[in-house]
Amino acid sequence: MVPHQVPSLDAQSLDAQSLAVDLPVSDTPRRRAWPRFLTSEHPFPWLAPITALILAFGVYPLLYALWLSFFKRNPITRMNVFNPTWNWGKLFADERVWGAIGHTYLYTITALLIELSLGLAIALLLDSDRKGYGLLRALMTLPLVVPPAVTGMMFLLMLDGSFGVISTGLVSLGLWPAQHPILASGSTALAGVLLADIWQWTPFMVLIMLAGLRALPKEPFEAAAIDGATTSQAFFRLTLPMLSKIIALAVLIRGVDLFRIYDYVKVMTDSGPGTATETLTSYAGTIYFKNADFPYASTISLITLLLVIVTSSVFIKLFKVRF
């Protein structure tokens, strides 16, 4: 990739002469056809459509959800009664919520760590211009295009205690006891769900890392080689720091998505066994679908939103992520 070239506009070329001759600005005042803020000079017309869409379909529903959270639902009449503290109080007392928060963070952090390191490792592995590597890189993107709901079902079948290829494979290799199917045992169910996520999203990290690696300038590495640095020294002292900005951004994007995970849990374990894989969004879903308690489900979703905002703000400040 070509390094950034800055055409020089230094003092010499910007003298009054050239400007005066070249600028076609006329002396007669122009009659404005439109008010200032509607011209293409002003950001307004550029941003208006997108702002309108987001206000209508993003902000309004959010406000509605917030408003809803101040009502208590009466299951018999199905009416909502104004009661601002009911849902919020219930939320803090509900141990399933705290469990869900714990699971969500555990899931997010574990997945991030694994996907990041695996992604980087695989990117390093595949970053070669030799024949066939292009194909390997293309194949690596395949998991990304499978709908998560389908991925969930795929892994559900493969991890099935009696008929799944992964489960029976592990059992026959003696690596896993047959009495504890992965998805049916509290301690390992989350791992099973994580497996689906890791399979699907490591390629995303691989892509990003590959792009980053390919954009690295060669000179520092050549200099290091001349100075006698080993491969791992070059990696830790040069590659990583240069990639850090990209890593931070990737972590942010992926982390936010992980926090909102829904499809895999719903399809594979439905928050089970017990509540071992219950995340915030799957609990919100349960309350929504099974108990039809919309105000409470809204409240749980809002807490999720709040946690995401807080956590990502902290992250952005800490790692100085810029965009």
Partner 1 sequence: MEETFLQKRLRDVAAVLVVGIFMFPLFWWALTSFKPTSAIFDKDGIVWFNFKPTLVNYAVTMLGKSRAELAIESGNTFGIGGASSYDSRQTIIDSLIIAIGATALTILLAVIASYALSRMRFRGRQAYLNWILSQRFMPPIAIIVPVVFMFHSMSLLDTRLGLVIVDTLINLPIAVLLMKSFYDDVPVDVDEAAMIDGATRLQIFWRVVLPMVKGGVAATAVLCFIFSWTEFLLSLFLTNSIRTLPVKITTFVTSTGSEWGFIAALGSTAVIPSFIFILLVQKQLVRGLTLGSLKE
Partner 2 sequence: MSFKKFDQQTFIVDSANAYTNRQISKREFLRRMGLAGVGFSAFGAGMLGNPRGLRNGNLLGTAAYADGLPDNQAKWLKDVGSKFKGAKIRYSTESTPPSVVLNQIKKEFTDPTGIEVEVEIVPLEQVLAKATQDVQGQLGSYDLYYLDQSWISMFQPDCVDPVAYYKEKPELAMPDFDWDDFSKPLVQNIAQVEGKWMGIPFDIPIFTLMYRKDILEKHKIAVPTTYEDFLAAARQITEAEKGNGVFGTGLQAKSGHYSLECDWSQAVWGHGGSIFNKNKRFSGNDEQGIAGLKWYQDLLKVSPPNSTASTWDGQFEMMHSGQVALVQSWDEFFPGLDADDSKVKGLWEPAKPLTAKKLRPASEAGFNEQPNLGHQGGSCISLSKYSKNKEAAWIFMQWGCCKEIMTRCTLVGGFAPMRNSSFADPRVKAKAKVGAGTTRHLETVKWVIDNAMATEPHMALWAGLSTNEIPTELGKLLTGQEYGGDPKKCMDALAKDIDAKVKDAGLL
| Subset of 25-54 contacting partner 1 (CB under 8 A) | 39-43, 46-47, 49-50, 53-54
Whether 197 and 108 have beta carbons less than 8 Å apart is answered as no
- For partner 2, the binding residues in 278-297 under the rule CB under 8 A are 286-294
Q: What is the 3-state secondary structure (H, E, C) of 116-169?
A: HHHHHHHHHHHCCCCCCHHHHHHHHCHHHHCCHHHHHHHHHHHCCCCCCHHHHH
- For partner 1, the binding residues in 123-152 under the rule CB under 8 A are 125-126, 128, 130, 133, 136-150
- For partner 1, the binding residues in 69-108 under the rule CB under 8 A are none
- For partner 2, the binding residues in 166-185 under the rule CB under 8 A are 178-181, 183-185
The closest alpha carbon to 181, from 263, 273, 276, belongs to 273
Confirm or reject binding of residue 225 to partner 1 (CB under 8 A): yes
- Give how far the C-alpha of residue 260 lies from the chain's centroid of Cα atoms, to the nearest Å: 9
Q: Measured from the CB of residue 263, what is the shortest distance to partner 2 in angstroms? A: 14
CA distance linking residue 104 with residue 206, whole number of Å: 23
- For partner 1, the binding residues in 274-313 under the rule CB under 8 A are 280-281, 284-285, 288, 294, 297-298, 301-302, 304-305, 308-309, 312
Q: Measured from the CB of residue 137, what is the shortest distance to partner 2 in angstroms? A: 36
| Number of chain positions touching partner 1 (CB under 8 A) | 99
Confirm or reject binding of residue 274 to partner 2 (CB under 8 A): yes
Interface mask toward partner 2 for 45-84; x: CB under 8 A: -----------------------------xxx-x------
Q: Measured from the CB of residue 199, what is the shortest distance to partner 2 in angstroms? A: 20
- Residue 206, SS3 per DSSP: helix
Whether 190 and 258 have beta carbons less than 8 Å apart is answered as no
Q: Measured from the CB of residue 192, what is the shortest distance to partner 1 in angstroms? A: 13
Token pair in block for residue 103: 């699971």
Whether 260 and 121 have beta carbons less than 8 Å apart is answered as no
Whether 204 and 251 have beta carbons less than 8 Å apart is answered as no
Show contacts of 66-72: CB within 8 Å, 24+ apart: 66/298, 66/302, 68/294, 68/295, 68/298, 69/295, 69/296, 69/298, 69/299, 69/302, 70/295, 71/295, 72/295
Residue 272 binds which of partner 1, partner 2, none (CB < 5-8 A, kind-dependent): partner 2
Q: Measured from the CB of residue 245, what is the shortest distance to partner 1 in angstroms? A: 4
Binding site for partner 2 (CB under 8 A): 74-76, 78, 160-163, 178-181, 183-186, 269-276, 286-294
